Structure 1
Amino acid sequence: MGSSGRWMVWTLCVCFTALQNAALRVTVRESSLQVVQGDVVVLPCSFFTSTPLSRLNVIWTLAPSSSPESPIQVITYDHGQVIEAPSFIGRVGFTGIPWSADIAVNDTRVADAGTYRCVVNNPPETADPGIGELELSVLAPPSLPVCQWDGDIAAGGSVTLSCSVVEGVPRPQIRWDKVNPGEIALPINVEGDLPGSVQIVNVSSETSGLYRCSAKNLLGTENCYVNLSVHTPPDRSSGLLQAVLITLSMSSVLVALLALVLWLHRTGQDGREGGEEEGEEEECYNEIRYTPSLMKRSFV
């Protein structure tokens, strides 16, 4: 064999070895993706192989953002069969198997967010599988917040307004406002045991009104409300004045009644005295009238 023949053989061996060593390659075209909750997202995973696809094996796994230490299996393609994880049944599927390992996830949920891994095997090419990774973020509008209040609503007391939101990506921003009467913004606590709360000290009648908690992110805003009514004790000075006025009114009525009784009593006495004088005059008159007759009879 000449030098040219040996050179050709050596070149073929090198190419074959290189092709064998790089037989299976996996490529993920995007390192991160975002999707709005409820929409469809395609997770890309391409692979190159020089071996027939009769024994192709593709596994997609997910390390959820909520618990990255506990990965779960999403979907598997093995010898022509497709197996879906229970939490993804009816929501996930391959788009181009066996030529592509891309999958589509529909009706996306916040729990679908995390790190996805595409693992491809195609025996007998290589013992080491090709692996690709990508990060998926699922955006969601704020859920309806829950408003509560706690504390002493008597004048001079202290009240804490709290607002909690279960869901929302990115994390919703909390804002408290007094909307009626007189709209004002209130500073909120962003850390500690009650994030999203606001404390109102030394409450008074001006504190009473309607308060609104707003939970907002780039997908929308949700509100809840608290109607706060502060109990204010009555003013002692005004109460004393009312008592004095009532006492004076009652005293005036009693004086009037007493004057009326005295007047009626005096009127009754005057009537009786007049009657007695008339009786005495009549008796005297009778005595004068009948005396001559008695005297006349005595001389007969």
Structure 2
Amino acid sequence: MESLWRLPHWLWSLLLLCADLTEGVTITSTDQTMITKAQGDKVTLLCTFTLAAADEGSLDIEWVVVQPDGEQPVIMYNVDRVFDKYHMSGRVQFVDQNPSSGDATIDILNLKTSDSGTYQCKVKKPPGSQTHRVQLAVLEKPKKTKCYIEGSQQIGTDVILKCNSQEGTPLINYYWTRTTGTELPITSSQNPDTGALLLKNASQVNSGTYKCVASNRVGTDECFVTLNVTPPVNRAGTIAGAVIGTLLALSLLAFFMFCCCKKRREKKYEKEVHHDIREDVPPPKSRTSTARSYIGSNRSSLGSMSPSNMDGYAKTQYNKVPSEDFQRTSPQNPNFEPPKVAAPNLSRMGAIPVMIPAQSKDGSIV
């Protein structure tokens, strides 16, 4: 053993070279260990190798994703055949159509965030075998970035400009610049993590267009916002106008309700009057009943009279009945008829109905 340690340095180098030759397969692309790509991009994973003369078996190349629960195949080459019908089918391929030439590099197209992981290239040709791993991180670029102003834009107030990306893989940084006029005011301050730009004691000089750039390790996105700093609003006039407007609105509402209620009462009254059956003043008694009562009273009075007294009564009372005398004094025109007045009209004129007792030819009451 001591004689081995006494060998010259060049001999040790020769022995190590011989040992390397006996090891067989050697992967030469070991510099690539970590890659970061954007979603939708293409990535190239390197795996170049050399074979030793002692390697006599068939060449076998395997690309897999190393996971905690095992290895998931990506693409393979064995006995001059390519096997790629796995979970990335249609998106993965060998760069060299003949990987046995020493180049097992692959391309993965249309990357997804779920493609992130540790990829391992394994080249095996018995008795030699060697592996190499590459860490791949697929990130999403910032997208749908919006800029807006929070709070008032009046002179003397603190104005806050905000920027936010609705899509994108953290960590996202935000950076504000001014596209019109001068640079950002000296009194302004921005937070790259939250995307807020604070303009203290804003003035009209600060008016203009501002740009926000959102960025992460794989891409950027931007948005714009226009700031217009205006003088303060007359609060007293605004409040007075609001109060007057409210009072007018309430007055109009009250008038409208009054008109509606009045209209409803009128309709209700008309409906009740239309369906109400009223009892009119009883009609005047008929001439027949009046005459009968009059005859009864006259008969009672006549019954109390003696025959001797009847002559004067008959002469004074019943001789005045316009019977024959009326016929004597009637006009000579035979076609003339006295005007007739209806009984109801006579009653209204105050006439009293009178029953004339029947008389005989000698004037006695029958």
TM-score after normalising by structure 2: 0.42
Larger RCO (CA under 8 A, 6+ residues apart): 1
Larger Rg: 2
Greater per-residue strand proportion: 1
TM-score after normalising by structure 1: 0.50
